[in-house]
Every structure is written in C-alpha cells, then in structure tokens.
C-alpha cells in the first residue's frame, strides 16, 4: 500500500518559517491534505488539495506539492502553532485514505 513519510520532529524559533515535508512515491500526482492536532484535541484541517486553506485558517499556513514531496509551510511561526501535523492522501489503488506518521512541531 501507499506510504507517506514525515520527519518525526521539526523545531523552529518564533517568527521564523517552519517547513514540514511529506514524502511519497509520485505524491505530486495526488491531492495532499494537512491536519494540525494539539494535545488532547481532535485534528483540524489546515490545508487541503495541496494548497487551499479552509476558512478561518491563517494565511501563514500554505502548502505545495511536486514530485515525491509535499510541504506544509508555516510562516511567522507562533507559540500557538506548536502541535502535531499530519499529511494525508487518498490512495486510489486501495480506495482508502492514508496518513503520514506525523511531525511534532516545536516552537523554541
């Protein structure tokens, strides 16, 4: 089955830019979605269809997808962005969704 690979952790100082990657075979041909999950809370969709933002999500959150890597970029990182982030695609071969293993974003 299709596998999505994320780095376990990413650290960034406040005000800097965080980039969280999601690797997969030819992932650029798929639509990638990103979720933010804070401790004890349900996941929240922050980017869908590679680069679209749901209403209410700050413009600081953006996404890109090409080749074998999709990237969630968080600009001007704030302490409140500290969370786990998961990428997700729909695997057309098995016809069900796949999640990456998650990346813990630490704001230094």
Partner 1 sequence: EVQLVESGGGLVQPGGSLRLSCAASGFTFSSYEMNWVRQAPGKGLEWVSYISSSGSTIYYADSVKGRFTISRDNAKNSLYLQMNSLRAEDTAVYYCASIPAAAGTYFDYWGQGTLVTVSS
Burial class (CB in 10 A: 0-12, 13-18, 19+), 46: buried
Part in contact with partner 1 (CB under 8 A); list of ranges 11-19, 58-66, 73-81, 96-104: 96-104
Task: Report the nearest approach of partner 1 to the CB of residue 37 (Å).
Answer: 8
Q: Is 86 in the site for partner 1 (CB under 8 A)?
A: yes
Q: Is 15 in the site for partner 1 (CB under 8 A)?
A: no
Q: Are 13 and 76 in contact, with CB atoms under 8 Å apart?
A: no
Task: Report the nearest approach of partner 1 to the CB of residue 38 (Å).
Answer: 12
Residues of span 41-70 touching partner 1 by CB under 8 A: 41-45, 48-49, 54
Q: Are 46 and 35 in contact, with CB atoms under 8 Å apart?
A: yes
């Amino acid at each position: 089955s299709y596998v999505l690979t994320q780095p376990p952790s990413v650290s960034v100082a406040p005000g800097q830019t965080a980039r969280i990657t999601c690797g997969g075979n030819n992932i650029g041909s798929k639509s990638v979605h990103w979720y933010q999950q804070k401790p004890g809370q349900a996941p929240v969709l922050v980017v869908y269809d590679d680069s679209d933002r749901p209403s209410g999500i700050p413009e600081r959150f953006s996404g890109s997808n090409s080749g074998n890597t999709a990237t969630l970029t968080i600009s001007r990182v704030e302490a409140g962005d500290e969370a786990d982030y998961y990428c997700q695609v729909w695997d057309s071969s098995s016809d069900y969704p796949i999640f990456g293993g998650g990346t813990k974003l630490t704001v230094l």
